[in-house]
Amino acid sequence: MLADPLSFPQELPPTYQPLADEPPFEPARHLALEPPRQVWRLAELGYTPAQIEACASDVGVAGPLRILSEEGVVVARAVALSLRAHCLSSDRTARYLAGGVYRSRFLRDLCNCPQVTAFLSEIVGCELLPHSMPSQQIYINYAPEDVTRAVDTWHVDSIGFDYVLLLNDPRTLSGGDFQFFHGSIAQAARLLGTAAERLTEANAQDLPPDRVVTASFPAAGYALLQQGNLIVHRATALTRPGERITLVPGLVARDLRWPDPTKDGVLGWGEPGIVAEYARHKAWLARAKLDDLIARIRPGAPPAEIRAGLERAVADVLHAIARINDGTD
């Protein structure tokens, strides 16, 4: 059940203003794709066969892998710095920028580059697409001015696949490590003294050091790919002031046989246009499922089977209506 990529919205959400005079994204100049040096599979992280079967891929984390050339790093960093004045803050993430693909054509074309998605798809063993919600196609995380504060506390993401791409020379950084928990969500939640469903929120507790993997990025332009909704991860505080910028592009699996990992909580984030994005995302899921139903429905199928197929096909839209109603109520 394969979905086609969702077209980019024709109208920008309110308040987003695109950058002027930024250089175009050129894959031949700005990419330097190199495969991951290590892959951690969900089974070795403590997930059960039944849990893994409900996922589009059995890969939990892969990396470090290279995405950007040296020239690509220079341009991406310049774009990120030009957008830094618009960054926000939350209890969990010290300084971040949303709506990057609305603000920057360079970032939009990077996130939607077929060469990148094909490269990442081969690593995880399933076809990936840029996330169907543009706000989730990229976030930019910046180091806080207060070095006592973590860049990002222990958490899981509200979408499935994403990668954390470093734009600074790691040799210039003291602290600011990207780390992930070598275990499952359930194990991490017990150790952090919280419920698994609350791991999208800020959590400043510590996990046992022997269960924590620290990513070692060889240089700027390298990344770590993960199923962020299943991998508990964080970015530690810097131990001295410095520039630390990461891009976090998000993706979705093209095959919709598996449950949608995008969490309903995104509706409450307050980003311009996110309710419309969520509605488009759920309608996109339903459209692919309806197309699949049209192609597969048997002329002689009993009414109960036909009804059940229709209910499955439109379940995403009905769910979205209920969640949007919850928010407006």
pLDDT category at 5 given cuts 50, 70, 90 is very high
Residues 14-27: tens digit of each pLDDT: 989 999 989 999 99
* End-to-end Cα distance, the chain: 34
Q: Among 62, 68, 146, which Cα is nearest to 107's?
A: 68
**Could you give the CA distance from residue 202 to residue 234 in angstroms, rounded to a whole number?**
10
| CB atoms closer than 10 angstroms to residue 256 | 19
Determine what percent of the chain is predicted with pLDDT higher than 90.
Answer: 89
pLDDT category at 226 given cuts 50, 70, 90 is very high
Residue keyed to tokens 């892998």: 65
For residues 208 and 92, the model is more confident at: 208
- DSSP output for 42-70: GGGGT--HHHHHTSS-SEEEEEEEEEE-H
Rounded to an integer, the average pLDDT of 76-80 is 98
Residues 302-326: tens digit of each pLDDT: 999 999 999 999 999 999 999 999 8
pLDDT category at 125 given cuts 50, 70, 90 is very high
- DSSP output for 272-302: TTHHHHHHHHHHHHHHHHHHHHHHH--TT--
Rounded to an integer, the average pLDDT of 161-166 is 98
**pLDDT exceeds 90 at position 251:** yes
Rounded to an integer, the average pLDDT of 62-88 is 96
**pLDDT exceeds 80 at position 85:** yes
Average predicted confidence (pLDDT) for the chain: 95
pLDDT of residue 147: 85
For residues 139 and 329, the model is more confident at: 139
Residues 110-124: tens digit of each pLDDT: 999 999 999 999 999
**Could you give the CA distance from residue 233 to residue 152 in angstroms, rounded to a whole number?**
9
pLDDT of residue 328: 57
Residues 264-290: tens digit of each pLDDT: 999 998 899 999 999 999 999 999 999
CB 192, CB 205: distance < 8 Å = yes
Is the whole model's pTM more than 0.85, yes or no?
yes
Rounded to an integer, the average pLDDT of 212-233 is 97
Assigned CATH class of 27-260:
mainly beta
**What is the Cα 37 distance to its own chain's centre?**
21
**pLDDT exceeds 80 at position 186:** yes
Q: Among 174, 145, 149, 146, which Cα is nearest to 240's?
A: 174
Element (H, E) at 248: strand 245-253
Q: Which two tokens stand for residue 102?
A: 């609305």
**pLDDT exceeds 80 at position 329:** no
pLDDT of residue 177: 95
